Structure 1
């Protein structure tokens, strides 16, 4: 399988126990929707298939996986920090009208006090919240994506209207 025929879901973070179990961290939004009977691990630039014999999903976007033919901690250790992919055919389909905060990447941010700030260049997902990264005055500024700061999302125009707290921009601009 080639990388363009698959989609990235996360990576293997560490081994667990002595019998080859590994922990995987999912960067995919909803890992519980993924079909993990076969995963593809990127090893030396190639996607190598592994059949899973057991999957234990955790609440923090991680899972414990037993992979067939990986039966020792030494074998499992060789997979640590390797990226995990699934075939495009296994990508869960979303409803057309379903919108997520992660869809805001590429939107232009307009603040009620400072006007246009710039384009959202990335969305970082932290355990407590999602954070938008915006290129503003040749610097990156960050702010949480939550209902307290968001006034309106104009999906058609690609504009996010926010009302950021006083002083937030000053932290980044040093003023």
Structure 2
């Protein structure tokens, strides 16, 4: 019969890079941490992503961890801080987008010249989207043009939600890199 490891044994194993200790921590705490975040945030995808990223960072920073014997308290405090930071970043992003949209609404179109620039910009954006890897482009278009959720895209394409997330991240990173200068120039 397997012995249940104490928090201190799990922490010591984690610090040493023991994947079984890490797996045990994940299996023991990922569900309760997810419910903790979901109860306060009410964003299923955001909660899943936050917990997933949290555990990735836990592994990446395993040697630097300053955890005494109370692993539970450490994990819940750390996930709470991560959640508050994420919510804060989203608020800043929302304020920026709202401000930008207000600016665009306030700018009065300047006739034909404005329409030509808008059409040209749309062509450039479409060309960049067409230049994405075929599967990445398909995921991006299902998300942005069809407004499908990660889960719906995963089911439609027969891939995992994590793969959908990775494709979206890479697509947005590529488009931002390739179109960044264009957006600064136009706006």
Q: TM-score, normalised on structure 1? A: 0.24
Q: Which has the larger radius of gyration?
A: 2
Higher helix residue share: 2
Higher strand residue share: 1
Q: TM-score, normalised on structure 2? A: 0.23
